[in-house]
Amino acid sequence: MTPVFTVSPATNLNYFTLSFSKELEEAFLQDYFQKSLRHVRISLLLAIFIYGIFGILDAMLVPEVKQKLWLIRYAGFIPAAFAVFIFSFSYHFKNCMQLCLSAVILMAGVGIILMTLIAPYPGNNTYYAGLILVFIYGYTFLKLRFIWATCTGWIIVIAYEFAAGLWVETPFPIFLNNNFFFLAGNVIGMFACYSIELYSRKDFIQTRIIEAEKKNVTACNRDLEKRVEERTAQLVDVNNALRQEVDDRKNAEAAARESEQRFKCLGENSPEIIYTLATDGSFSYVNPAWEDILGHKVTEVLGKHFIDFVRKKDAKKYVKRFKRIRDNKNTITNIIGTLIHKDGSSRIFNLSGAPNIDASGQVTGMVGLLKDITEQQTLQTKLIQAQKMEALGTLAGGVAHDFNNILSAIMGYSELGIIDIADSAIVKNDLQEVLKACERAKGLTQQILTFSRQGEEKLEPANINPVVKEALKLLRASLPATIDICQNIDSKTAVVQSDLTQIHQLLMNLCTNAAHAMVDKGGTITVNLENVSVRHPAPEPYPDLATGSYLRLSVGDTGHGMTPHVLEKIFHPYFTTKVKGKGTGLGLAVVHGIVKR
């Protein structure tokens, strides 16, 4: 079994004293000593040189006491520091390195404090700067640990405060200024020393972890080499099989790319909408035809669900169909459905769809086709309506002719009866009522014949302006005062091919219907007659209208309007919204018949 070397991440580092647990602390101190020893020796020699070279400043600043100051430098600090340097080559130096280095820093600091006491004013005020150098050297360069450096530094601070405050006559502003820089240098040195040792300890931990990992890696490498040797023979056969599999996969990927390219080419150029859905019913692909047909950009569709584009009442139906495709792998074809255009209008589609299955046989979604049949459905509806109207017209025409013949006989015999019994006033009045009823029935049959386009008509060039004004004049007399008539009749209207009797009938029917819509609350009927020009293509809803000059007659009202359901049936014969006995339901059907002719 391969051994595994570990290092616990729990180092138990005391962030106040910067020390590890006992076993780890001993290892760190050993490592710290080995790495610091050469640096410490160089630092001691450099400290001896710097401390000694400053003797030149003693001679320049305070020549009268330079011998005393040199005694401190050359007979006190330098021999002691050099002794520590010599002791560093001893085996026992490892156990007391921090103590010896602290003593060196303490001697340097105390020496400068003594120089401050010895030097006369004002030269003594400059020696405090030497203490800042001592702090910098002790905290950052001499490899003193934080706890030793901090204790040594504060001992020097206390010594300086006693010396400067009790034995040296220093002006208070200078004393305050010196203390500010002195204490700031000590505190900054503490932070620097703390950071140096903290990162040294972290580096130590990282090094141990790396060494342990190296051992693990080495052991694992040996184990892996052994396993590789054992499996080399097996890998030869596996490699051959993999080569074959790779070749097969490359061929499959090439075929898939080719199929994808064909699908993309088909989708990008298809006039029909091609789409794919994810397993949650959201769009993962739509081709550009979507924007052409439904108005949404492709980016506005991707990520949204199919039911976001259908009517609310149809949503559950589409969800059920999608679940059947996804869960049961069913296929749907020729399903008629409605989707909402970006402008809010409805478009009718023939829907087809099938599950999208991956190589493992799992359903990853759905792929489908939407064929826009809105125009086809509209034309089919119009065709059915036209066929129905034609059938009704044929039926109505035949019935009207037969009914007209019967009325002729009744009217003829009624007239003969009136002649034969001229003396009987009662019977004569009764027969006159019969004739009046026949006249009304004849008028009704004439409307039916007009609707069925089997009546006689006389189309000739005529100016319909006078007829319109006459009809409105008659209509004004029959309408209540709560209904106003607004006429916008162009005095220079053109002459058109028309039957003036039918124009009169058409306008009366339209205005009567308009008046009925305002009978309760009153309102205004607006009649417009104007010349218009039709250019290609013809405007909706008159796609079959030829280009040229026309006369447009329009009637509007301020009544309650019509619902979409009523609007679809207004030209159907015998369809009326009036109460029973108030209308025949032929008024607008007759108008439609006249206009179509």
Q: What is the pLDDT of residues 215-251, one digit of tens each?
A: 888 888 888 888 877 878 777 778 788 788 888 888 8
Mean local confidence (pLDDT), 388-417: 62
Return the pLDDT at 4: 42
Q: What are phi and psi of 10, to 5 degrees?
A: -85, 90
Whether the pLDDT of residue 340 is over 80: the answer is: yes
Q: What is the pLDDT of residues 214-225, one digit of tens each?
A: 888 888 888 888
> Cα separation of 103 and 93, whole Å?
13
Which residue type, as a one-letter code, is found at position 400? A
Return the pLDDT at 333: 80
Q: What is the pLDDT of residues 107-145, one digit of tens each?
A: 988 888 888 878 777 666 667 677 888 888 888 888 888
Mean local confidence (pLDDT), 178-189: 76
Return the pLDDT at 188: 85
Q: pLDDT category, 3, cuts 50, 70, 90?
A: very low
CATH classification of 460-561 is 3.30.56.10, yes or no?
A: no
Half-sphere exposure of 262 (CA within 13 A, CB side): 5
Return the pLDDT at 464: 82
Return the pLDDT at 6: 44
Q: Which helix (H) or strand (E) holds 405?
A: helix 374-420
Return the pLDDT at 85: 92
Q: Which residue, among 370, 319, 320, has the nearest Cα to 347 in the 3D structure?
A: 370
Q: What is the pLDDT of residues 475-497, one digit of tens each?
A: 776 788 888 888 888 767 768 77
Q: What is the pLDDT of residues 464-475, one digit of tens each?
A: 888 888 778 777
What is the chain's alpha carbon radius of gyration, rounded to the nearest angstrom?
56
Mean local confidence (pLDDT), 384-390: 58
Mean local confidence (pLDDT), 139-165: 82
Whether the pLDDT of residue 510 is over 60: the answer is: yes
Spatial neighbors of 182 by CB under 8 A, at least 6 apart, are: 128, 131, 132, 157, 160
The helix/strand/coil state of 317 is helix
Task: Write down how long the chain is.
Answer: 597
Top-confidence residue, 271 or 450: 271
Q: Which residue, among 98, 101, 118, 112, has the nearest Cα to 156 in the 3D structure?
A: 112
Q: pLDDT category, 166, cuts 50, 70, 90?
A: low
Q: Which long-range contacts (CB under 8 A, 24 or more apart) does 433-437 make?
A: 434/410, 435/411
CATH classification of 378-452 is 2.30.30, yes or no?
A: no
Residue 596's Cβ-count burial label (10 Å; 0-12, 13-18, 19+) is exposed
Return the pLDDT at 10: 44
Instruction: Report domain extents, the chain.
Output: 22-219, 270-372, 378-452, 460-561
Peptide bond into 461 cis (omega under 30): no
* DSSP per position, 452-487: HT-S----EEE--HHHHHHHHHHHHHHS-TTEEEEE
The mean pLDDT value of the chain amounts to: 77
Top-tier CATH class for 270-372: alpha beta
Q: Which residue, among 108, 142, 138, has the nearest Cα to 39 in the 3D structure?
A: 142
Whether the pLDDT of residue 26 is over 50: the answer is: yes
Return the pLDDT at 79: 92
Mean local confidence (pLDDT), 566-591: 66
Return the pLDDT at 495: 81
Q: What is the pTM of this model?
A: 0.36
Return the pLDDT at 86: 92
Q: What residues form DSSP beta bridges with 462?
A: 496
Structure tokens at 432: 């006159």
**Helix residue ranges, H only, 22-145:** 22-53, 55-61, 66-70, 78-87, 93-118, 128-136
Provide the percentage of residues in the chain whose pLDDT is more than 90.
2
Return the pLDDT at 25: 76
Q: pLDDT category, 253, cuts 50, 70, 90?
A: confident
> Are domains 270-372 and 460-561 of this chain identical in fold?
no
* CB-based contact 34:129 (threshold 8 Å): no
Provide the percentage of residues in the chain whose pLDDT is more than 70.
74
Mean local confidence (pLDDT), 440-445: 62
Return the pLDDT at 9: 44
> Cα separation of 576 and 383, whole Å?
23
Measured CA distances, 17 to 13, 148, 293, 589 (Å): 9, 10, 77, 106
Q: Which helix (H) or strand (E) holds 8?
A: none
Q: What is the pLDDT of residues 517-539, one digit of tens each?
A: 787 788 898 988 888 887 765 55
Return the pLDDT at 562: 79
Q: Which helix (H) or strand (E) holds 341?
A: none
Q: What is the pLDDT of residues 52-96, one digit of tens each?
A: 888 888 788 888 888 888 998 899 889 999 998 999 898 888 888
* DSSP per position, 555-577: EEE-S----HHHHHHTTSTT---
